[in-house]
A = this chain, B = another copy of it.
Amino acid sequence: MKDGNGLTRFGVSLSSKLLKDFDGLIARKGYTNRSEALRDLIRDSLVQAEWEAGDKETVGTVTLVYNHHTRELTHVLTDLQHHYHQTIISTTHIHLDEHNCLEVLVVKGKARDIKKIADRLIGTKGVKHGKLAMATTGKELA
């Protein structure tokens, strides 16, 4: 079995009405399988707990939008990213238009360290907008 994990099957009981509504919601979201939708809710609650704990290794993505004409900004961001090169795995750069750039960084480390790096990048003068998405290494999520 993948990841060395056996499969378990267990029963959930709930009202027919609740089940019907849930089936409707997940169909609209594109799920073809109820177990998969439940596993996603379960995994999402575990990932949330991981980020609240703060000290486990996890992965996040930081999305930055900025104007590359802003004086020195490109240098400052590059320097900052190199400073954290052991934690930042990759950076993808998109030329949104003549002026605006979007960068997505994949960052791996302890939740609280990723948050700090995200704060530093988002707080850099000239960065218009920044957002941290809390993901996972996937290791603990079978």
Contacts and interface: CB of A to CB of B under 8 A. Distances in A.
Given A31-B123, A69-B2, A90-B92, A129 B45 contact: no
* Complex copy number for this chain: 4
Contact of A99 (B15, B21, B96, B138): B138
B25 A5 contact: no
A99 to B, nearest CB: 6
A42 to B, nearest CB: 5
A47 B127 CA distance: 14
A97 B59 CA distance: 12
A45 B38 contact: no
Q: What's the interface size class on A, roughly? A: 35 or more
Contacts of A25: 45-46, 49
A26 interface: yes
B30 A119 contact: yes
Given A12-B38, A44-B129, A70-B2, A138 B17 contact: no
Given A15-B142, A92-B104, A131-B133, 10 more contacts: A2-B67, A3-B17, A7-B15, A7-B16, A10-B11, A29-B122, A41-B45, A61-B131, A63-B133, A65-B137
